Amino acid sequence: EKSKTRRHLIEFWMMEPEMAFVDHNGNMALQEEMVKFVVRTVLDKHRNDLALLERDTAKLENVINKPFAKMTYDEAIDYLQKQGHEIQWGDDFGAPDETVLANLHDGPVFVEHFPTAIKAFYMKPVPGRPEVVLAADLLAPEGYGEIIGGSQR
């Protein structure tokens, strides 16, 4: 498919889970279970196709066998600044930032507790820290960036 970047397709589906009676951690757990289910299903049913594409399935197997890493927005900003990125607390991440953060781990990573000012008004603040919200972005490895964003209302 022709595209101006390797991160964007002409058509895509996006998931932003926000559910009644589920807290922030439950939301992230559901996202992790869903991604692992999809990867497991692809490995079970399409391993030959992946071999034809010369895809290293060990990395995909790692996704289903390990818990997803988590880091806070504060930790992410601190790390990026130490790596020389020109980013300040309150800025949203760009594609290069997401790639650096995702490459810290062997699989997907949740970045959570974003500044209130850069997220939707309906996201619930973190108790005791009204400047950040109970939201998380799930970053995929290998430079693919955010694949899921969700929050507690």
Cα 62 from Cα 107, distance rounded (Å)? 7
**Domain assignment of residue 2, yes or no:** no
**Domain assignment of residue 14, yes or no:** no
**Domain assignment of residue 18, yes or no:** no
**Domain assignment of residue 9, yes or no:** no
Q: What does pTM read for this prediction?
A: 0.88
Domain that holds residue 116: 24-151
Provide the domain count of the chain: 1
Average pLDDT, the chain: 91
pLDDT in tens, 29-80: 999 999 999 999 999 999 999 999 998 899 899 899 999 999 999 999 999 9
Instruction: Please state the rounded mean pLDDT for residues 15-41.
Output: 91
**Domain assignment of residue 141, yes or no:** yes
**Domain assignment of residue 47, yes or no:** yes
Q: Residue 40 sits in a domain of what CATH number? A: 3.30.930.10
What number of residues does the chain have? Answer: 153
Three-class secondary structure assignment of the chain: CCCCCCCCCCCCCCECCCCCCCCHHHHHHHHHHHHHHHHHHHHHHHHHHHHHCCCCHHHHHHHHHCCCEEEEHHHHHHHHHHCCCCCCCCCCCCHHHHHHHHCCCCCCEEEECCEHHHCCCCCCEECCEEEEECEEEEEECCCCEEEEEEECC
Percent of residues, the chain, with pLDDT higher than 90:
75
Res. 9: pLDDT tops 70: no
**Domain assignment of residue 3, yes or no:** no
**Domain assignment of residue 106, yes or no:** yes
